[in-house]
Structure 1
Amino acid sequence: MAFTLPEPLLRPLIRATGIGKPFKDADEARKHVRAFALRPQPYAPPRRIRRDVVIDVDRWRGWTVYRVKPRDTKPAGAVVYAHGGGWVNEMSFLHWHLVAELAAESATTFIVPIYPLIPFGTAAEVIARFVEITRETKATNTRTAIAGDSAGGQIALSTALELRDHHGITLDDTILISPALDLRFDNPEIPEVQPRDPILGVPGAQYFADIWRGDLPVTDPRVSPLLGDLRGLGRLLVLSGTDDILAPDIRDLIERLRAAGVPFDFYESTGQLHAYPLVPVPAGREARQVIAHRLQS
């Protein structure tokens, strides 16, 4: 990213923008869903983005799909990227700058589907489509990974499980940035973390998740991938900040990966917030370098 935000300014900025408000209160979450259903948010890439990438767009079975490629380097593989936002917020400028930076610095094509959000999109439909997109991507690329942040991390891991269980496909990498893993949000450590998390809150997250799961039980791995069988997955890279109510479930994931014999690397940054690798702070830059290095390896 072109600029760096001093970390002491991050929390005041978050509070000033009110981005955590819909997650902290179920009534605010309800208003948020209604407002964006009526007036959908923009999702297009910003006009000013890195000059060393090329962005193309296409339609795929009714979805808009972007491809972000390095301009002057032949891509060595492809990543299907699922953006976060609580299943209710669109692809943001932070997502775009993350994807552009990783595409350029790792010489990788990023495939970015714009999937339907709640109240219109549901887990069963969206995961099935991500499975199709990832299968088609793998058919034409020697190295294929899936990645996602927050709600997109849930989509990414659920997709990896579906690919393994129903298509016999093991991905080269699954990259999870502050993923939502268990949509029951009942980990007993969450109340301890909640006072330090200015972004997420259980009441709103549960409201969004209940719409997102549709007719599926919350324990279905397409909704809560932490509850799936993790054996036989390809290697994972997991990044998390400690001041994030999702951190306890992420630590649980790491223990389950270890027990299942799945290869993984885990980076937990003390004092960092939810999805910090997307943010232009020094710790975010270091995390993006970790991801780019993984994609190069």
Structure 2
Amino acid sequence: MNNQRPTVATEPTSSIRVDHRDYRSTLEAATQALLKPFASLILKPPQTTYSGSPRLTPHKTAQKTCRVEEKSVEEMWIYTFSPLDARGERAVPHKLYYFAGGGFRGPANKEHWALCAELCLKLPQHEINLVSYPLVPESPASTTVPHLENVYQTIARQSKEQNFRITFMGDSAGGNVALVLGIYAASEYLRGATEGDPGSICPVENIFAICPATDMRNNNPEIDDIDKRDSLLSRKVIEEVAEGWIGEWFLSDPRVSPVLADLKLLKRANIKVDGIIAGYDVLAPDAAVFRKKLDDCGVEGDWLEWEKQMHCFPLMFSYHVREGVDANDWIVDILRSNVQQNE
């Protein structure tokens, strides 16, 4: 195993800071090798279909360390985490809304509940909320995204009334949702500022995307170079997921392919975009293109780029895989730093 220290690569004029790492532990390599034969089974769509926002049962992994409260916002179930020793409602300056991956087909799993619980315990200035957004096949993007926009409008009003800032965060498909919703928030804020509230600040201050799907067209030729190394996803899988998600829209619609959106909106709204890219992930080439476009637009951000890692490897922290633990620590450090920079 190579224990090389990470290097942060930032051009003098770049707004994006990249923490580049390339070591891979024996356990991580073994995990990738063991997963590959079972990838199709792991990614098999759930037999249960959901109409609207699925109502979830918090996983026992989260309930061991956190209290999880269920609430409904605009007919969407949201699960709020708080430490077991917390008393009453907490007034926090930041609320993080997490969108779990799962190919837009499955709700949050054990690893997502564990990550949200970990963030709750390590980030006392954040309230962690897991959003159960509507899923395909009953609710494709053409149905779900407008629903999420309505939810955002309510959360944005609460942000102003209760004086908190918002972070949208997600992994894989959920990373796509976080980016799309964050870009919508930027456009809504700028529209409002133009109409007569120039002194306001955007309710959303940060988007955090872990191994996100950024381009539903999936026409980047570099995808094929990584396809044989990806232990979980494949070009075939991500193309099927994209076709299932778009509904009545097109693959090139910015509301499903945020790489095609006007990313200057994020700069104008002063929204920071952080993210993680895994080297052995077929979504990585388009995520790298997206990050480059953010940089070209002057959007601030911190990105962890880790070679030889599998899709959404930070979720492996709960299994004590070294790279998952280190990535989780990096996430916490960046989110904590974001709070300190905006105080």
C-alpha distance in 1 between matches for 2:336 and 2:83: 13
- 2:171 and 2:210 in contact (8 A); partners too: yes
Counterpart AA for 1:98: L
Specify the SS of the correspondent of 2:77: strand
C-alpha distance in 1 between matches for 2:209 and 2:140: 20
* Correspondence 1:115 to 2:127: no
Displacement after TM superposition at 1:43 (Å): 4.3
Pairing partner for 1:14 from 11, 35, 42? 35
Pairing partner for 1:47 from 60, 67, 70? 60
Q: TM-score, normalised by structure 1?
A: 0.87
Specify the SS of the correspondent of 1:111: strand
Deviation per CA, 1:184-243, whole angstroms, max 9, x where unpaired?
111010000001001111222222211211111111111100111111311111101100
Displacement after TM superposition at 1:82 (Å): 0.8
Runs of 4+ in 1 over 6 A off after TM superposition: none
- 1:20 and 1:198 in contact (8 A); partners too: no
Counterpart AA for 1:118: V
Pairing partner for 1:209 from 227, 242, 246? 242
Specify the SS of the correspondent of 2:204: coil
Specify the SS of the correspondent of 1:174: strand
Q: TM-score, normalised by structure 2?
A: 0.76
Matching of residues 216-235 of structure 1 within 5 Å: 216-233=249-266, 234-235=271-272
Displacement after TM superposition at 1:285 (Å): 1.2
Taking only aligned residues, the RMSD between alpha carbons, in angstroms, comes to: 2.6
C-alpha distance in 1 between matches for 2:220 and 2:42: 21
Deviation per CA, 1:50-75, whole angstroms, max 9, x where unpaired?
64422101233333221112344654
Displacement after TM superposition at 1:291 (Å): 1.6
Distance 1:293 1:136, change over 3 A: farther
Specify the SS of the correspondent of 2:118: helix
Pairing partner for 1:124 from 142, 151, 158? 142
| Structure 2, unpaired ranges of 5+ | 1-24, 191-201, 338-343
* Correspondence 1:158 to 2:171: no
- Partner residue in 2 for 1:89: 106
- Partner residue in 2 for 1:57: 70
Matching of residues 1-297 of structure 1 within 5 Å: 6-15=27-36, 18-20=38-40, 32=45, 35-37=47-49, 43-49=56-62, 51-72=64-85, 74=90, 75-107=92-124, 108-138=126-156, 139=159, 140-168=162-190, 169=202, 171-233=204-266, 234-280=271-317, 281-297=321-337
Deviation per CA, 1:23-62, whole angstroms, max 9, x where unpaired?
6xxxxx6xx36x3439xx9942222436442210123333
- Partner residue in 1 for 2:6: none
Counterpart AA for 1:191: D
Give the greater-gyration-radius structure (CA): 2
C-alpha distance in 1 between matches for 2:119 and 2:314: 11
- 1:170 and 1:232 in contact (8 A); partners too: no
C-alpha distance in 1 between matches for 2:328 and 2:151: 24
Displacement after TM superposition at 1:127 (Å): 2.2
Distance 1:268 1:179, change over 3 A: same
- Residues 157-166 or 130-139, more deviating: 130-139
Q: Aligned residue pairs: how many?
A: 285
- Residues 183-192 or 116-125, more deviating: 116-125
